[in-house]
Structure 1
Amino acid sequence: MELSTDNLFSPHPARLLRGAWRACRETMSYAARTALDIALPTLCVACREPVAGVGVCADCWTKLSFIERPYCPRLGTPFVYDPGSEMLSMEAIANPPAYQRARAAVRYDDVAKVLVHALKYQDRTDLAPVMGRWMARAGSGLLDGADLLIPVPLHWRRGWSRRFNQSGMLARVIARHSGVPVAPDTLRRIRPTRQQVRLSRNDRARNVQGAFKVTAERAGHVQGRRVILIDDVLTSGATVDACARVLLRAKAAQVDVLVFARVVDTMKAPI
């Protein structure tokens, strides 16, 4: 059962309006897709071959690279061999992030990229349940004992043009599977940022510096809580690191990160 944040936070007219618009949009999207499914066969989102159900066909399923142990306990990046459960990767030691742990369901390879882009840019909201379910499985160790799920926010201009926040949608699915409530308005992106795709690691960090804040009415609910940041993709980690720093300054007890896919350039070997 999905836990509503209404029990945690007092209602606010703007939040209620956004929630009503989101529910209306999701209902219309579902109705439209149901009508199309009656007229047309469901196609694999990756290769466009007919498939039973929603998501990917059997062939594309085999091309998804699910991240399993062994991996770095801090960053969640996979190792080429098992060095032991406590061994950190060289990257985690050289550049430790502000967040405590990160986990991802899959590598950000060709099929995962198609899934993410379909959800984010093509209104394929029907993909969120399966993607969120895979995330809940990958993040089971983080979800055990967590207090809040906090989606990485969009700036209001981008949210208006895109009509929904894919991170918030994934967070609601994870909440239904884990019982950990979502606090969608805890973080706010207070200034627009450039797209991170073509930026270097240093430029990514500068791009999101000072872009987030904890809303004043939510600050008290963050204090002493173990929170999990939810996002669709982790690349350099600059965005979630900036969010984690803001939450820790607001006295969060611990911040972890759970994403659908993460970029893995190579199989990271332990030191």
Structure 2
Amino acid sequence: MRKRWKDKSILPGFGVTMGFTLLYLSLIVLIPLSALILKTTTMPWDRFWAVITDPQVVASYKLTFGASLIGALINAVFGFIVAWVLVRYRFPGSRILDALVDMPFALPTAVAGIALTSLYSTKGWIGSLLEPYGIKIAFTPLGIIIALTFIGLPFVVRTVQPVIEELSADTEEAAATLGAGRLRTFWKVILPELLPALLTGFALAFARAIGEYGSVVFIAGNIPMFTEITPLLIMTKLEQYDYTGATAIAVVMLVVSFVLLLLINFVQWFANRKVISN
């Protein structure tokens, strides 16, 4: 018996909608990315290698991916806590708090960067309190991590929140009845159900942080080899009309981001499979 390659649908239009989907994705995603790679092929290999391995560029890679990873991990933990509180508890001002989660979505990134810089600079409300203890946030990698955490929080909260709403409290009560403590209940009952959504939110926050520019460029200070992010180097090369150099760095960012997201999606697929099997 021949295996069906698509499920039979009551409503017609699979061919039309599939064609539209492929056309739309090609115009919006595939063609621009292909043009980026083709532009890079016009460079000699030695020139390409010299651009992407320049010490200043390598330092920006480490800062961008490292800060993005740390920011996404922080959001995975505290974003889960925020989503849990908003779903499981009712308290005065909960609706206002829920609306505040979306502020990084609505706020222009440049405005967010200026606001964070004003808060965490040595003359800002928070920065002035930390300065006597030798803690400096603005114009340091720590400030970049805070900015990336700020813009990535909604991705985790809004991804995990619907799953928590569908999570029945009866299962937790049953685990408690069988003698499981709170930590064991969380580890064995709650976390396996939330892990796929949590990984999705983490991946979205991580991907958003890698390409972030507006909210980071102000608080970073853009000190070469210290707080200079890769998107800024790309913009600098574009302003210098070095289009091939900019595309070379962008291709490296694209490849590394694709590999990392592929690994995250594989872990998410494995987690989904494990949840279904259980």
Per the normalisation by structure 2, the TM-score is 0.30
Flag the structure with higher strand content: 1
* Largest Rg, 1 or 2: 2
Flag the structure with higher helix content: 2
